[in-house]
Amino acid sequence: MGSHNPHPNRRVIVIGGGVIGLSIGWRLAKAGCAVSIYERDCAGRSASWAAAGMLAPLAEVHLEEKALLRLGSLSLEMYPEWTAALEADSGMSIGYRTEGTLIVGVDPDDARELEHLYESQQFLNLPCDWLTGAEAREIEPLLSPKITAAISSPNDHQVDNRLMVHALIAAYRNAGGDLHEIAPVEKIEIRGEKAYGVWVDGVLEDCDVIVLAAGCWSSEIEGLPRNAKPPLRPVKGQILSLQMKSGLNLQKVLRTTRATHPADVYLVPKHDGRLVVGATSEEMGFDTRLTAGGIFELLRGAWEAVPGVYDLPIVETWTGLRPGSRDNAPILGATAIENLVMATGHYRHGILLAPVTAREIASLVLTGKTSEIISPFQLSRFAH
Amino acid sequence: MGSHNPHPNRRVIVIGGGVIGLSIGWRLAKAGCAVSIYERDCAGRSASWAAAGMLAPLAEVHLEEKALLRLGSLSLEMYPEWTAALEADSGMSIGYRTEGTLIVGVDPDDARELEHLYESQQFLNLPCDWLTGAEAREIEPLLSPKITAAISSPNDHQVDNRLMVHALIAAYRNAGGDLHEIAPVEKIEIRGEKAYGVWVDGVLEDCDVIVLAAGCWSSEIEGLPRNAKPPLRPVKGQILSLQMKSGLNLQKVLRTTRATHPADVYLVPKHDGRLVVGATSEEMGFDTRLTAGGIFELLRGAWEAVPGVYDLPIVETWTGLRPGSRDNAPILGATAIENLVMATGHYRHGILLAPVTAREIASLVLTGKTSEIISPFQLSRFAH
C-alpha cells in the first residue's frame, strides 16, 4: 500500500481509543504514520467493551437507510480477512464465530414483525430462511416451546468485542503506535479553519491530521467551531452476561423480534461460556446506572425465549453509552476544518463498522481520497 | 448485673463475628469477661450483612412453631431498650424504624393466604388490621392498583442490619473485647467431653468457655464429636437494593404473600435511601452466585407490588447464606461437651433474635442458668 500513499509518515493524532480509534490507528501505523491515540479512560473500555459483538447489518436499521445497510454489509464482508490480519498482527484470537443467528418471535403477535423482517432480508438479497417453531427448535432445542416462527440468518456473525479490544491494542502497539490512556484531550487547537494539534494535560501536541473518534464524548471536546461539532448524544444500554453450562450451551446468536414487548433482546454465546444478554436503549444523558426495569426486561426477554436461562448464574451486569448522531448514522470523513477528520457516532454498529471505517479513514488520511461508500455520512449532512 | 455473676472474669472465646457472636461478646465483655472473637472473614460480613433487617416474628414461621414465635416476640419487645444501649455504647445509630409493615396480596388468589396470616396474627394477639386495597393505598400510595387487600402489622419493625454490624463492633471493642478477623478457627480442642480452647493459625488459644456462633460454618469446624455437631446447612438468599428518590420513597416495610408466585418478596426502605428487595431461598450448598431466575423473581415481585420501582437504579445485588438447622429453629444453650455453648442456626431470624440470644447465652456463661424460653432450642433435641 505504501507506494500509493503520498503521506506515508504523517503525524496523526487520534482522539479516542475505542475500537474505531484503535482500528484506524493500527492501519495508519502499519502504513508508516507516526500515530498517537489519546484516550480519556482506558482504551476500549467504553462502548466497545459494553457491546455484545453482533455483526448484523440489518439489526435495528430501517430498510430506508440504504446507505447504512450497504456500509454495514460491506464491513461484514471484510470481516474474515480483517480478523485474519488482526489475529496475525496481535497473536490473539478475537472469537470470530460464524454459526449465524436465529431471529425468533415469541408470541403469536410477533409473527408480523418477523414477516416484515423476512421481506426486508429478501429485498436486500441477504441469505435467510423462514422456519416454523418446530424447525427452529430442531436447530436450537433450548428455544421455548412457545416460539412459533423464526428466521435463520446465517450471515449474521459475531466476534468477542472484548477480545477484539485486547487484540487491537496489541496490533496497534506492535505496529509502533503510541497509546496514551487516562489522557483526555482538553481542546483541539484550531486557527483559521485549520487544525494544528490537541491540548492534553496543558500541553499542545501538534500533528498533521486529527481523527476525532471519541464516541459520545466527541462533541464535549473544546475548541470545535459550531460547524465542526458533531451532533452526538449518549444512548444508554443495560446489558448482562450469564454463565452457560453443559446442556445449556447455545451456539447461534438469538434475537427476539417482539411486537408488544418493551424491548427486544439478544442472546450472544461466547467461547468462554458467557452468554451476553442485551440491551436496553435509553435516552438518559451520561447516566450509567443499572435500573430495576432494565435488568428485569433483559431477564424476562431472555427467559421467554430460552426458559433454561433461569438457572444460570449472572456473571456481570453493566451499562454502556452508544454514540448516537442526530440520524443515528455514523459521522465519517473530512470536515470544514482542514486536517480534522471524523470517525464517530457509530451508535449500535461500532464493532460491525470498524473494518470499513478504518479502511476509509486511513485512505482519507494517506491519500486524501475515500470511496463513494462513506460520502453519505459526512458531517456536512447536518449543516442545512 | 456484675454482683450476681459467679464468673465475672471468665475467659471466653466466641467463634464467629456475626451479629450473634458480636452481641454475646459485647454483653460478656461489659460484664467483665475477657472475650476474644475469632471470625473466619470480616466481622458481620456474612449472613448479618446480607440480611434485610426486618423484625417480624411471624414472617415465615408456622403457627405450630410456638416456642420460636415466643422467642421472636420476646426479642422484638427487647429491641427498643437494646437499641438504646447499643447506640449509647457505640455512639452510632442502627436505623431502628417503627413505621411498621404492610403485608399485601397482589392477585385475587393471594387473598386466602392473607386471610390465613391474619388469623394467625389474631390468634397470637399480635396487633394487626385488615385493609382493603383502597385503604392500603391510602397508607401507601405507591402500592399497585391491583392490590386488593393487605394487613397492617404495626409491630413488625426494622433496623439497618449493616449499621448494626458497625455499632456492635464498636460497642464490643469499647467494652474491651478482642476481635480477630480473617482468623478462622481450625479446630476446637476437646478432651474427655470437655472443651479447652480453639486452634487458630496453628496455635491453641485456651479459655474457660467457648461459644460456637459461626452460622452455617458451625458444623464445618474440626474437633466436634458427633453428639456436639450442629446439623446445619446453608440456605442461599439472593437480594438486591434499589435507590429510592423523591416521589418514590417508601416508609413502611412491604411484604407480599403470594399464593401462586414462585417467591414472596419484601421491600425494606432504609434511612440512607436504599430499598432492600429480598429474598430467594435456595438449597444450593455454599454456592453464592446470583442467578438469572433469582434476580428476575425479585424484580418482578417488587414491580408487581410497587410499579414505580421500575425506574429506580440498582445499587447492589448480593447473596447470603442463612444457617438453617434440621428444623430451621436456632440451636441455643449448653451441649454434651462441658464449656461448649451453642448460639447458631438462626436461619432467617438472626437480626431479630440477637437481643434475646445475647441475654440468654451471657446468662448461661456467667451464671450457668438460662430462662425457660430457650430450653426448646438445645442441641440435644436432635439426638433422638
For residue range A80-101, what is the model confidence (pLDDT) as tens digits? 999 999 999 999 999 999 999 9
Pair B5, B367: CB distance under 8 Å: yes
Per-residue pLDDT band for A65 (boundaries 50, 70, 90) equals confident
Is B292–A302 a contact, with Cβ atoms under 8 angstroms apart?
yes
Q: Is B137 on the interface with A (CB under 8 A)?
A: no
Looking at beta carbons, which residues of chain A come within 8 Å of B314? 289-292, 295, 317
Higher pLDDT, B7 or B166: B166
pTM for the model stands at 0.91
Q: Tell me the shortest Cα–Cα distance from A234 to chain B, in angstroms.
A: 18
Torsion region of A138: left, alpha or beta (phi above 0 gives left; psi -120 to 50 gives alpha): alpha
pLDDT of B75 strictly over 50: yes
Q: Please list every residue in chain B whose beta carbon sits closer than 8 Å to the beta carbon of residue A317.
A: 314, 317
Cβ contact A230:A333 at 8 Å? no
Residues of A in contact with B239 (CB under 8 A): none
**CA-based radius of gyration for chain B:** 21
Taking residues B241-258, report their average pLDDT: 94
Check: CB of residue B362 under 8 Å from CB of residue B211: no
- Distance from the Cα of B267 to chain A's closest Cα (Å) equals 13
Predicted confidence band at A111 (pLDDT cuts at 50, 70, 90)? confident
Query: pLDDT tens-digit profile of B26-43?
Result: 999 999 999 999 999 999
Angle between helices B66-90 and B161-174 (to 10 degrees): 60
CB contact under 8 A, B310 and A295: no
Residues of B in contact with A300 (CB under 8 A): 296, 300
**Tens digits of residue pLDDT in B129-147:** 999 999 999 999 999 999 9
Tell me the per-residue pLDDT of B166-184, one tens digit each, with 9 for 90 and over.
999 999 999 999 999 999 9
Average of per-residue pLDDT values in chain B: 94
Phi-psi category of residue B338: left, alpha or beta, with phi > 0 → left and psi -120 to 50 → alpha? beta
Alpha-carbon distance B242 to nearest alpha carbon in chain A (angstroms)? 7
CB A375 within 8 A of CB A364: no
Among A34-48, A325-339, B105-119, the minimum mean pLDDT is found in: B105-119
pLDDT score of B4:
60
Q: Which residue has the higher pLDDT, A258 or A286?
A: A286
**Residues of chain A neighbouring B300 (CB-CB closer than 8 A):** 296, 300
> Nearest CA of chain A to the CA of B313: how many Å?
4
b/e code B293-307 from CB counts within 10 Å (16+ = b): bbbbbbbbbbbbbbe
* Per-residue model confidence (pLDDT) at position B5: 67
Q: How many CB contacts within 8 angstroms connect chain A with chain B?
A: 69
Which string of b and e fits B334-352 if b means at least 16 CB within 10 Å? bbebebbbbbbbbbbbbbb
**Contact present, B244 and B273 (Cβ < 8 Å):** yes
Query: What percent of chain A has a predicted confidence (pLDDT) above 90?
Result: 87
Per-residue model confidence as pLDDT tens digits over A178-198: 999 999 999 999 999 999 999
B101-105 and B253-256: which strand pairing? parallel
Residues belonging to chain B: 384
* Single-letter amino acid code for the residue at A51: A
Question: Cell 480477630 belongs to which residue?
Answer: B180
